[in-house]
Amino acid sequence: MDLAIPLAKTGVISAAANLWLAIPIGFIFGFALFHAGFTDSRRIAWAFYFKDVGVPVVMFSAIVTGMVGLWGLSLIGVLDITLVYMLPTYLVPMAVGGVLFGVGMVIGGYCPGTAIAAVATGKIDGMVFIGGFLIGSLLFGDFFPVWGDFYNSDYLGAFRLDQWLGIGLGPTVLIIVLVAIAGTVSMIFVQDFVWGKKDTMTKSRPFMKLQGALVAAAVAIGIIFAFFPTESFIDDSVETPFYIVPRADVTEAAP
């Protein structure tokens, strides 16, 4: 296949051009983080108290957009998915890291991207959080031999949910869309139940018609996806060049 996308991997643009183009992409990311309200540590932390469930709703929307876009471009044959870097799974270290990360998030009130955005808007607690974050990263790296073996344990390769579930990729996309909607609706319900209807999320209620249309569009795309088998999205028989450990070793090691 001679597809042009991803541009940097197919040689359409140079490595240097790719670096410079990261700035406008980061710009959109930072711009959106601010308008999502994520430069305010309280709004992020309130998610853990169901006082403002904007955080999970924004995250669900971002994931669904990225997912539908990535796999959709692969499906219609404009993006060579084997050239996209697929994140490898190290299940137990990632789960343990996730729990710790959540602890740090509710104590500190930020995650790294939102803290950087908060720094740009003058939030002093964001600057201090970043200071701590740099210290934490340094500790991890300098004492790496202590936890290096654990860090590299439980490697499963670029292991996708559809492979784990044993179903097609298309239906999996539909399931994620439905999970995102169910999660959003139930969290808004809990927020209203616990805190009453006069909280920050209510400000978005005038835009419910627009948001409802966007959700309906996501469901429609998900249903279309569900009719396509995995091979229409990705050829799993070809090993991508990004495997850190060859996939064959993983399949042999799996029980």
Partner 1 sequence: MKFGTRWPPIPAGILIGVSMLLAFVVAGRGIGASGAMTRLVAWVQHGLFPAATEQSAYFGRYFAAGAHPLNDYVVFLLVGLLIGAFIAAWRSGELRLEVLRGPNITAQNRLALALAGGVISGFAARLARGCTSGQGLVGGAELSVGAWAFLMCVFIGGWLVAWFVRKQWI
List the interface residues with partner 1, window 209-238 (CB under 8 A).
210-211, 214-215
Contact track, partner 1, 110-129, x by CB under 8 A: xxxxxxxxxxxxxxxxx-xx
Q: Kindly write down the DSSP assignment for every residue of 15-41, as one continuous string.
A: HHHHHHHHHHHHHHHHHHHHHTTTT-H
Specify burial of residue 177 (Cβ count, 10 A radius: 0-12, 13-18, 19+). buried
Report in angstroms how near the CB of residue 169 gets to partner 1 at its nearest. 7
Report in angstroms how near the CB of residue 82 gets to partner 1 at its nearest. 10
Q: Which residues pair with 5 in a beta bridge?
A: 79
Report in angstroms how near the CB of residue 113 gets to partner 1 at its nearest. 4
Q: Which of residues 12-41 bind partner 1 (CB under 8 A)?
A: 13, 18-37, 39-41
Question: What residue has token string 């409802």?
Answer: 212
Contact track, partner 1, 132-151, x by CB under 8 A: xxxxxxxxxxx-xx-xx--x
Report in angstroms how near the CB of residue 252 gets to partner 1 at its nearest. 19
Contact 88, 158 (CB under 8 A): yes
Choice between 133 and 243, CB closer to partner 1:
133
- Residue 68 vs residues 28, 81, 121, 126: alpha-carbon distances, Å: 19, 13, 31, 32
Angle formed at CA 243 by CA 238 and CA 248, multiple of 5 degrees: 65
Report in angstroms how near the CB of residue 55 gets to partner 1 at its nearest. 8
The CA distance from 218 to 201, in Å, is 21
Choice between 145 and 196, CB closer to partner 1:
145
Q: Which of residues 179-198 bind partner 1 (CB under 8 A)?
A: none
Q: Which of 167, 178, 200, 236 binds partner 1 (CB under 8 A)?
A: 200
